[in-house]
Amino acid sequence: MKSILRILAYLKYFPVQITGNIFFNLLHILCSVGSYVMIIPFVELLFGMNGAPETEPTFGLGQQELVDYGMWHLYRYRELHGMWHCLLIIAGGYVACSLFSNLFRYIAQVFLGGLRTGLIGRLRNDIYHKVTILPVSFFSSKRRGDLMSRMSNDIADLEWCVGVLQSLVKEPINVIVFGFLLIFISWRLFVLFLVVLPVGVWLIALIGRKLKHSSRRGQNELGGLNAILEETLGGLKAIKSFGREDDLERRFADANQDYTRTMIKVARHRELSSPLSEVLGTLALVFILVVGGWQVFDGSIQPSVFIFFVIIFARIIPPIQAIVRSYNTLLKSNASAERFLEVLDADEVILEKPDAVVLPGFTDSIAFHDVCFSYREKQESQEGPLVLRNITLTIPKGKTVAVVGPSGAGKTTLVDLLPRFYDCTSGDIVIDGHDIRDLNINSLRRQFGLVSQNCILFNDTVANNIAFGSTDYSLEQIREAARVAHADEFIDQLPQGYDTAIGDRGLNLSGGQRQRLSIARAVLRDTPILILDEATSALDSESEHAVQQGLDALMQGRTSIVIAHRLSTIKGADLIVVLDKGQIVEQGTHEELMTLGGLYKKLVDMQSFA
């Protein structure tokens, strides 16, 4: 239950809602008790079981003193005003108590609604914030569908958990108030009820343990189910082209069947507690009826008081059942809370120092000093295989540096270290004399513009994709960025021009058009350093020509780091760095490397032959 208690710790942000809910629930319970108290005089007037004492008794707080005092005044009032007048007064009191009870319950529910929606909203904000600051490495080891499940289904399950707060607040108060009433009426009968209580608690705890285990398994299986669905939607073309629909259907059906079976177990365990508590409560009630009836005949307790005891006892059973259901809901929600908190507690890895330096701009150079990197963090002096080894490189401002090499050489990893998507395992990276780990992360990343092979576009208009949701740019600035990127020619032909929606991930556009929008976004941001990660490798010749024009315009006057697949596009680079197996094996200009006759020349010759 530790995880769910951490979620409930968010309640500290809603003191008004909690106080209001508890206060009006207490009023609701007191009015409910008042309506039940009206039963005693009603029964007495109808059946005259006890009669009034001969003389006016002295008022006292004991059970018998209160009954005698009330009976004397009740019969006295009947003698003065008549039976019907008494019944009307009692009925009016009962109706008033009932009306106020339900009014206070409604107000308590209003406070609870504000508490529930506010708490869930805060949870959503916190996990979204966490997702935006977690390092890229976290997501590379997680299935996106499972993460989506944690951020949607698990939070929805936690909302049900917050919904039982009404029971957690009101029902224990109900049990305490009615329990004190039962003790006050007849502590001997109340002790009999406690005889069956330990058995019920043990059985409910046993069910709860099974429910917690099944719920955790069910939430994990639902995450896997969503992961399959997300992968299917993302790879629908490949599935259809390879004719694998039947295989994916079977895979989904098997996962769905496992999840269904688990949730049947969850439902079976959850629903078992209510009838079990009902049976135990019924057994206790029957036992009390038998023993209490004997005491009525024995004269140990007055009939009307015993009827009142039975009614209150019957009234205490539903709150106990509600507490049991709430407890089981908490156990089920605890599995969702654990999965939710796994994301919320994930190590940020990329941490910003408290005294981080704000980098106002890029003025001099970027330098790699003996940089090594492994995707696996150090553990007990052990580390994973190095992806980069002893990288030492200087990139002066205003120069174009191309990074080439075979697949898996570490090219993308090298540039990902610059904006601190990852931190190097050893060595350091310095910008303008500052170790990037000493810099404010936002000020560091503002220096970089990224255009990658996989365009990151959103289901929004052309203009909003170029501006990337920012309101700092005018439409004229957006148009100018599109013109520089050679994107204006196709944007003007769209149905609504810059206001045209481009669909999910920009799928309404061609590959070349999507790439030119990415370039326009980088132009508009106007960063001093550009990272071009194989920006044209997936394009046809015509699209590549148009995109390359945009890239050439974008690179003018900027420091550019280009990861190139087609080596013909980087012949004019000021420096070409050749990586192989995570190490720099060659560097120089195109002519120098061709003369050297090493790996670079081999790669060029292979592409020329192709």
Q: Give the CATH architecture of domain 362-447+559-610.
A: 3-Layer(aba) Sandwich (3.40)
State the pLDDT confidence band at 156, using cuts at 50, 70 and 90. confident
> Which pLDDT score is estimated for 379?
40
Domains 362-447+559-610 and 448-526 share a fold: yes
> Which pLDDT score is estimated for 59?
65
588: left (phi over 0), alpha (psi -120 to 50) or beta: left
Residue 377 pLDDT > 70: no
The tens digit of pLDDT for each residue in 195-211 reads: 666 666 666 666 666 66
Residue 369 pLDDT > 90: yes
Most confident of 97-111, 134-148, 345-359: 97-111
Q: Are the C-beta atoms of residues 1 and 78 closer than 8 Å to each other? A: no
pTM over 0.85: no
The tens digit of pLDDT for each residue in 402-412 reads: 999 888 888 88
Between 140 and 368, the higher pLDDT residue: 368
| CB half-sphere exposure, 321, CA atoms < 13 A | 16
Q: Are the C-beta atoms of residues 421 and 576 closer than 8 Å to each other? A: no
**Interatomic CA distance for residues 497 and 493, integer angstroms:** 7
496: left (phi over 0), alpha (psi -120 to 50) or beta: alpha
State the pLDDT confidence band at 378, using cuts at 50, 70 and 90. very low
What sign for the dihedral angle of Cα 475, 480, 484, 486?
positive
Q: Are the C-beta atoms of residues 519 and 496 closer than 8 Å to each other? A: no
Q: Are the C-beta atoms of residues 576 and 404 closer than 8 Å to each other? A: yes
Helix (H, G, I), strand (E, B) or coil at 319: helix
State the pLDDT confidence band at 114, using cuts at 50, 70 and 90. confident
Helix 187-234 / helix 303-344 crossing angle, nearest 10 deg: 30
User: First vs last Cα of the chain: how many Å apart?
Assistant: 63
CA angle 236, 239, 240 (to 5 degrees): 85
Residue 352 pLDDT > 80: yes
CA angle 371, 373, 378 (to 5 degrees): 120
Between 161 and 92, the higher pLDDT residue: 92
**Interatomic CA distance for residues 44 and 48, integer angstroms:** 5
The tens digit of pLDDT for each residue in 251-268 reads: 888 888 888 888 887 777
Give the residue from 175, 180, 184, 185 showing the smallest Cα distance to 25: 175
> Which pLDDT score is estimated for 45?
59
**Interatomic CA distance for residues 63 and 69, integer angstroms:** 10
- When pLDDT is averaged across residues 330-349 and rounded to a whole number, the result is 78
Mean pLDDT, the chain, rounded, equals 79
- Take residue 51 and report the two structure tokens written for it: 């009669």
**Interatomic CA distance for residues 26 and 177, integer angstroms:** 10
Domain residue spans of the chain: 2-344, 362-447+559-610, 448-526
State the pLDDT confidence band at 576, using cuts at 50, 70 and 90. very high
**Interatomic CA distance for residues 533 and 515, integer angstroms:** 12
Between 248 and 561, the higher pLDDT residue: 561
| CB half-sphere exposure, 543, CA atoms < 13 A | 16
Q: Note the residue count of the chain.
A: 610
Which segments of 468-570 does DSSP mark as H helices, in order? 475-484, 488-491, 511-525, 541-555
Biggest CA–CA distance in the chain, Å, is: 126
- When pLDDT is averaged across residues 479-485 and rounded to a whole number, the result is 85
- Residue 345 DSSP class: T
Contacts of 67 (CB under 8 A, 6+ apart): 40, 50, 302, 305
**Interatomic CA distance for residues 435 and 445, integer angstroms:** 14
Residue 522, exposed/middle/buried by CB under 10 A (0-12, 13-18, 19+)?
Answer: buried
- Take residue 366 and report the two structure tokens written for it: 């970027």
As a whole-number percent, the residues of the chain with pLDDT over 70 amount to 79
Residue 349 pLDDT > 60: yes
> Which pLDDT score is estimated for 555?
80
As a whole-number percent, the residues of the chain with pLDDT over 90 amount to 11
Residue 547 pLDDT > 80: no
Element containing residue 54 per DSSP (H, E): none
Helix (H, G, I), strand (E, B) or coil at 556: coil
Q: Which string of DSSP letters, residue by residue, matches 427-496?
A: EEEEETTEEGGGB-HHHHHTTEEEEESS----SSBHHHHHHTT-SSS-HHHHHHHHHHTT-HHHHTTSTT
- Take residue 608 and report the two structure tokens written for it: 């020329």
Q: Are the C-beta atoms of residues 322 and 164 closer than 8 Å to each other? A: no
- Take residue 351 and report the two structure tokens written for it: 């941490």
Instruction: Name the residue type at position 122.
Output: R
- When pLDDT is averaged across residues 34-50 and rounded to a whole number, the result is 64
Instruction: Name the residue type at position 367.
Output: A
The phi and psi torsions of 20 (rounded to 5 degrees) equal: -60, -40
Between 526 and 279, the higher pLDDT residue: 526
Residue 391 pLDDT > 90: yes
Pick the CATH number of 448-526 from 3.90.100.10, 3.90.550.50, 3.30.930.10, 3.40.50.300: 3.40.50.300
Between 259 and 470, the higher pLDDT residue: 259
Instruction: Show the beta-strand stretches assigned E in 60-204.
Output: none
For the beta carbon of residue 529, count every other beta carbon within 10 angstroms: 20
> Which pLDDT score is estimated for 603?
87
> Which pLDDT score is estimated for 57?
65
At the topology level of CATH, where does 2-344 sit?
A: ABC transporter transmembrane region fold (1.20.1560)
